[in-house]
Amino acid sequence: MTTRSTELLRVVHHRPGVTRADAARLLGVGTGAATELVTKLSRASLLVQAPAAPSGSRGRPTTVLLPHPEGPLVLAVAITHEAWRIDVVELGGATAATRSGRHAATGWDEVRAAVAAAIAEIISRYGDRPRAVGVSVPGTVSRTLRLDASTAGWHDVDLTELWPHAGVFVAGNDATLAATAESHRGAAANASVAVHLRIEAGLGGAVVENGRPVIGARGAAGEFGHMPFGDPSIRCPCGASGCWGTAVDGTALARFLGEPAPRDPVTYARRVIAAAAPGSTEMIAVRSVAAALGRGVAGLVNGLDADLVTLGGLGVDLLAAAPDAIEEAYRDGLMLIHRDSPPPVLPAALGDEEGPIAGAAEQAWTALLPHLT
């Protein structure tokens, strides 16, 4: 079919239930042409038309456009160090089914076997409706879909083995996909340049420009935690010294409190933040880490001229526990040109579990739509 058919599907994907008249306006076509496109896409089992709920006003009845109940599906897969989850996602973003499992501290072969078996089971249930897969992983993904996740010990693994016969296969880093989702359906919707930062065992994220993440030449962009905004006397596991990530995570809190480096820095950080009563040493540690976060955010805003910055992971906890410490350091680090209306620093609207898998679904739909029409 045509590019206009793809555009119409994209409109229904972003606004399921859009009226046929609004869809025609968004596409810039007349009602006759819109009716023709809708008829074509209905016959191809991609859309259905339904009468809109009565609005109470008189006039001609309105028709809304919805995903076809037997239409194509994408599989959104999120793999973390501890667990995996697959969402079966309809056009429009609704989840039709979910599968999940846990795999703490196992090799890639075991993870691959579990996820591939679940995908095979989904395909046996949904037949030829699943047409694309998007995979979120805790590492970097090359252009040839090979994953390197050093903390999990997964090196140069071939992600396409999860579903070798997939029609469309896309994959990306979890923080990058969370950033993409935030720009499509979250707090950064409609931003021209958005920065998303996620603090966990390290600090990662992505710059998203007009809905598209900057992924870098090797798929390794967004390693903001390794910019030298930290204490130059601290050596980072990445091999550099003075990395920002070492100043804003659980290890920074432990150092401040004179405790040994925690085995699980995320759980440790949450415990310290929860214990940070006003005036306590924990609160002093939390405020110093929050200030290090705010200073670095200012650096990113100065460098990228972002519309806004969203925070995920421990960033949300720090924003709740010490908002003034973040704000003060942030404003202090901003260039004068940004100070009249500083780009907001907000918690991400999608949670830490939802962001990466929602981003994987969006990326899969973006890649699939042109193939459907």
Kindly list the residues in this chain that would bind Zn ion in the complex (CB under 5 A): 226, 236, 238, 240, 243
Nearest approach in angstroms of CB 223 to Zn ion is: 8
Question: What CA–CA distance (Å, rounded) separates 342 from 206?
Answer: 19
- The DSSP secondary-structure symbol of 150 reads G
Question: Are residues 346 and 229 in contact, defined by beta-carbon separation less than 8 angstroms?
Answer: no
Instruction: Indicate the SS3 state at residue 117.
Output: helix
Nearest approach in angstroms of CB 18 to Zn ion is: 45
Question: What CA–CA distance (Å, rounded) separates 344 from 109?
Answer: 43
The H-or-E segment that residue 197 falls in is strand 193-199
Nearer to Zn ion among residue 251 and residue 373 (C-beta)? 251
Nearest approach in angstroms of CB 226 to Zn ion is: 4
Nearest approach in angstroms of CB 274 to Zn ion is: 27
Nearest approach in angstroms of CB 359 to Zn ion is: 24
Nearer to Zn ion among residue 103 and residue 226 (C-beta)? 226
Nearest approach in angstroms of CB 139 to Zn ion is: 15
Question: Are residues 146 and 162 in contact, defined by beta-carbon separation less than 8 angstroms?
Answer: no
Nearer to Zn ion among residue 47 and residue 243 (C-beta)? 243
The phi and psi torsions of 265 (rounded to 5 degrees) equal -65, -25
Distance between alpha carbon 28 and the CA centroid of its chain, in Å? 30
Nearer to Zn ion among residue 163 and residue 244 (C-beta)? 244
Residues forming beta bridges with residue 99, ordered by sequence position: 86
By the 10 Å C-beta count (0-12 exposed, 13-18 middle, 19+ buried), 115 is classed as: buried
Residues forming beta bridges with residue 148, ordered by sequence position: 140
Nearer to Zn ion among residue 289 and residue 369 (C-beta)? 289
Nearer to Zn ion among residue 1 and residue 240 (C-beta)? 240
When computed from its CA atoms, the radius of gyration of the chain, rounded to whole angstroms, is 23
Nearer to Zn ion among residue 18 and residue 269 (C-beta)? 269
Distance between alpha carbon 208 and the CA centroid of its chain, in Å? 10
Name every residue whose Cβ is closer than 8 Å to that of residue 32 and which is 6 or more positions away in sequence: none
Nearest approach in angstroms of CB 296 to Zn ion is: 13
Could you tell me how many helices (H) and strands (E) the chain has, helices first? 13, 16
Nearer to Zn ion among residue 71 and residue 230 (C-beta)? 230
Nearest approach in angstroms of CB 202 to Zn ion is: 8
Question: What CA–CA distance (Å, rounded) separates 333 from 294?
Answer: 8
